[in-house]
Structure 1
């Protein structure tokens, strides 16, 4: 008999007393940590990152490519009241869409970074359905010629989201040809937490 999944581990960084909270779902290639502390310090925000903790005890991103109609790890008791920004990266993008859908009355800004397009089948159809319901102001950030998610993947999502726009990162800024969260962290925070620039 398989054991139940571990509850999500969390990490909090930024200003713990800030009025604006941003939820972060890292991709499977990202650490559960502040992508760029210097950038975060320039924003008056609290960032709450989610991950699962496997048997090894080392956090790994949560949850990559979930069943879109299945349960998400309970987050209600960990997410503060009020409006929220949400950033989801890579293979956690589907989780971000699902979470934004379930918290639609609270998530007012969304960033999807390097969001892949699912293969043909029920999961893709369900994701398309969910994308069409989101009226959240959404920013899609992809890297040019990134093999994981480039122009075509960004266009696919934009065509299905009512309020989305695309920003492409030049290939010259991609280490090893792939977009990394730290490269666009400042831009992502600016979108999900406007007006929060900390006083110098």
Structure 2
């Protein structure tokens, strides 16, 4: 396990899972649990190294009227460099959760063929028409096989959000998850982590 500031950035990252594994997965999310293992039992069953990157609202801010590089664009470039350094010559998986999903899309677009699997969990569609147009352009250039997992009753990222992303991606699969806890709450990553891992780290079961 490592926990440190990533190069040229203000975010922290933590590695868990199998340290010497050939397969690496980058997990992007915000909040107090951003650097924690979503479901250790599921993670230990995979021969994969997970690199969790903690983000803040400042890291993903992408104001429509901003002139020049937005914070989100700067974050994406910095993390994309970090991903390239960490992956070597092997393709990796990326997981974007909630509000960090758009940043995951940006990073996948920048890394290009270096990302072969992408998972977007409970990611709402862009709020503005201009933002939606920009994200749609990025989605069209992503060749990675993408899994979209959304809560059926999610107030911000239900089936309409999943369909919006799926329509813009060359290779996408949508899976809607019935929510058994508070039906008005956001889908919890731990509830679907095993399924997400099976997508972004295929063939790595021990």
Report the TM range for the smaller structure's normalisation: 0.7 to 0.9
- The Cα shift of 1:133 comes to 1.0
Distance in 1 (alpha carbons) for counterparts of 2:95 and 2:58:
13
1:69-108 equivalences under 5 Å are 70-72=73-75, 74-75=78-79, 76-77=81-82, 79-81=86-88, 82-108=90-116
- Over aligned residues, Cα RMSD in angstroms? 2.3
1:99-178 equivalences under 5 Å are 99-172=107-180, 177-178=185-186
Per-residue CA deviation, residues 32-86 of structure 1 (Å, 9 max, x unaligned), is 210111110000000011125xxxxxxx588335448731262324523111001
Task: Indicate how the Cα distance of structure 1 residues 11 and 106 shifts in structure 2: closer, same or farther if over 3 A, else same.
Answer: same
Q: Which has the higher helix share?
A: 2
In the other structure, the counterpart of 1:57 is none
Distance in 1 (alpha carbons) for counterparts of 2:58 and 2:191:
21
Q: 4+ residue stretches of structure 1 with deviation over 4 A?
A: 173-176
How many residue pairs end up in the alignment?
187
Deviates more, 1:21-30 or 1:171-180: 171-180
- 1:17 equivalent among 7, 20, 26: 20
Task: Indicate how the Cα distance of structure 1 residues 152 and 180 shifts in structure 2: closer, same or farther if over 3 A, else same.
Answer: same
Unaligned runs of 5+ in 1: 53-59
**TM-score, normalised via structure 1 length:** 0.85
Unaligned runs of 5+ in 2: 1-7, 63-69
In the other structure, the counterpart of 1:192 is 200
